[in-house]
Amino acid sequence: MAKKQVGSIVSGSLTEGFLMRIVCDAPLHEIKTGKFVCVQSGPYKFFSLITDLALEVTHPDILLFPPTDTEPLLMDALKKKDMYATAQLRPMLMLNQANEKMPVKTIPAHFATVYEANKADVNMIFGDEHDASKRYFNIGCPLDMDTPVCIDLERLCERSNGIFGKSGTGKTFLTRLILAGIVKQEKASVLIFDMHSEYGIQARKEGGPFVKGLKTLFPDKVALFSLDPQSTRRRGGTPDVEIVIPYSAINVEDVISLQDELNLHATALEAAYLIAARYKKDWLEVLLSQGERLKEFAQELGAHPESIAALYRKLKRLERLPFLQASSRGAITLRQAQGDRNQPDLLGGGNVIDQMLEYIDKGMSVIVEFGNYTGTFVYLLIANIITRRIHARYIEKTEKYLGSHSLSDEPKKLMICIEEAHKFLNPQAARQTIFGTIAREMRKYYVSLLVVDQRPSGIDEEVLSQIGTKVVAQLNDEKDIQAVLTGISGANNLRSILASLDTKKQALLLGHAVAMPVVVQTREYDENFYRAMGPEVSSKQITQLIDELF
């Protein structure tokens, strides 16, 4: 099939991009920012994005006396010679005659032909989802094309990643889409802190029906840990594990992440360290038991009474959370979920971190559901407690592997998914909490982050610079746009693309897991997707099934 020409190159540079004159008979309404085009020049093919459009005339007097609707012949004559449109192209990469990808280090010749990219071009650049390696996953199609754009799941799991967009742009669906690909192809295990119970069993599609969650799609690959088992059951699910956490599992470092949420002054945190220095793992239980003798308690510690009182008042709310228990056992405990009595006990009792790691070592993923405890306070606390311990265990497992060099000791890749990421990764928290540490480590210990947020400008700049792949839905705030493009080559050109995205089902992909930035119409999360996520049946299995039937 012959390629469709959209224009020719008339000027440009490596730093500013190329200027294309659009052919006179091209329907301008079909040429949009973010569209994917190819420039053929000599032995090279340049893959580019349209970043801007403009109307031009050869002489300004034409604009003084524009043709009317009753002068079609004059309009046609002007279109062929004196009125035209141009498009600004940003070259992203180029291919040589052997189809080897390389950075753009040269420019096309004058009047080089520009074509619309076709299916073969897209597959060549972004990979084929039917590839035997199972590393490519279809996330959507380029604008005005019906050809899948794939992300490289192996490269995605090599670094921390981010999904950004203002409220209502479909971040959750994008996240669920990508997580489904990771779980399906088993490129990593995923630990999801599910703040609004949208990833496990089912979720409500805005303005539409319910859609399946990851536990429903992959019942044998996903385990459901619940802080609110009654809520999980009311929504038709059965938690694999009900989490119960003793006060002795909460460290001062976990409280630091709540500093803004609780409006804690620095002196109150210093008081917490004084208590922990004396009472170790029982510091919180000792504090909450003081009641009327806070002043005497402060004098015993040598702390300021007002600081101790403030800390006591702020943390007293922990007693209202039923999954927290006054205990001195010093470990996060759990109880097996009371679900189907005929279901085998896969976990047994013990430490919840051990049980999570047991699932992860088997290649399974874990969803921590919060049920009706949707406040940021609870989310920050639980995510910090679990993640800090998981990370510590992964350090131990990695060091063991480095010492033994045995493949059986190599840790499974783990991607931790957090929402409201700016609460964990703002400039102050990023330096003090475990999430900032993980983001800066570049998966040194086999753990990476998937951060989901509507305000990327609230995330520490150093953390943003370490994010390998970004999936960006519509953003309006200039600070957010600037933040999400931090460290990206050609950011000014991509800025105009971001500004023109639709409010739903469109996203800009850029970074480590895609060969070049591209705007996609995101894949539908529907019955066709469910079937694609089902177990693959080989032709041999089909033949065996037919033989058994007949």
What is the structure's pLDDT at 333?
46
SS (H, E, C) 365-422: EEEEECCCCCCHHHHHHHHHHHHHHHHHHHHHHHHHHHHHCCHHHCCCCEEEEECCHH
Output the pTM of the full model.
Answer: 0.83
Query: Has domain 150-227+351-533 been given CATH number 3.30.1360.80?
Result: no
Check: CB of residue 160 under 8 Å from CB of residue 449: yes
Q: Where are the beta strands (DSSP E) in 132-255?
A: 136-142, 149-152, 161-164, 189-194, 202-204, 210-212, 222-226, 241-246
Tell me phi and psi for residue 224, to 5 degrees: -110, 115
Closest C-alpha to 438, from 250, 191, 177, 82: 191
Output the six-digit token pair for 281. 């793992």
Q: Report how far residue 191's alpha carbon sits from residue 367's, in angstroms, rounded to the nearest whole number.
A: 6
Burial class (CB in 10 A: 0-12, 13-18, 19+), 125: buried
Taking the CA atoms of 476, 483, 506 and 113 in sequence, report the sign of the dihedral they define: positive
Q: Report how far residue 110's alpha carbon sits from residue 12's, in angstroms, rounded to the nearest whole number.
A: 9
Q: Give the containing element (helix H, strand E) for 46.
A: strand 44-57
Contacts of residue 361, defined as CB under 8 A and 6 or more positions apart, other chains included, come to 412
10 Å Cβ neighbour count for 128? 14
SS (H, E, C) 301-356: HCCCHHHHHHHHHHHHHHHHCCCEECCCCCCCEEEECCCCCCCCCCCCCCEHHHHH
Q: Report how far residue 67's alpha carbon sits from residue 56's, in angstroms, rounded to the nearest whole number.
A: 15
Output the six-digit token pair for 189. 């295990």
Contacts of residue 299, defined as CB under 8 A and 6 or more positions apart, other chains included, come to 305
Q: Report how far residue 320's alpha carbon sits from residue 332's, in angstroms, rounded to the nearest whole number.
A: 18
Closest C-alpha to 41, from 107, 91, 117: 107
- Beta strand 447-453 with 414-418 is parallel
Measure Cα distances from 277 to 169, 190, 267, 472 in Å.
46, 35, 15, 44
Output the six-digit token pair for 19. 């200027």
Q: What is the DSSP letter of 497?
A: H
What is the structure's pLDDT at 216?
92
Closest C-alpha to 400, from 361, 439, 367: 361
Q: Which spans in 186-265 are helix H?
A: 214-217, 229-234, 252-256, 259-262
Residue 470, helix vs strand vs coil? strand
Check: CB of residue 249 under 8 Å from CB of residue 242: no
Q: Give the containing element (helix H, strand E) for 276.
A: helix 266-279
What is the structure's pLDDT at 344?
32
What is the structure's pLDDT at 543?
52
Output the six-digit token pair for 374. 């949707």
Output the six-digit token pair for 538. 């080989």
Residue pLDDT tens, the chain, 550 long: 568 899 999 999 988 899 999 998 888 888 888 888 999 999 999 999 898 999 999 888 888 888 888 888 888 888 778 889 999 999 989 999 888 889 999 999 999 999 998 888 888 899 888 887 889 999 999 887 888 999 999 999 999 999 999 888 889 899 999 999 999 999 999 999 998 888 988 877 666 678 899 999 999 999 999 999 999 898 888 899 888 888 888 888 888 878 888 888 888 888 888 998 888 888 988 888 888 888 888 888 888 888 888 888 888 888 888 888 876 443 444 444 444 433 333 323 347 888 888 999 899 999 999 988 888 889 988 998 999 899 999 999 999 999 999 998 999 999 999 998 888 888 887 877 788 889 888 788 999 999 999 999 999 988 888 899 999 999 988 899 989 987 777 777 788 788 788 888 899 999 999 988 888 999 988 889 999 888 764 444 445 544 554 4
Q: Where are the domains of the chain?
A: 5-117, 150-227+351-533, 248-325
What is the structure's pLDDT at 430?
81
Output the six-digit token pair for 400. 């063991």
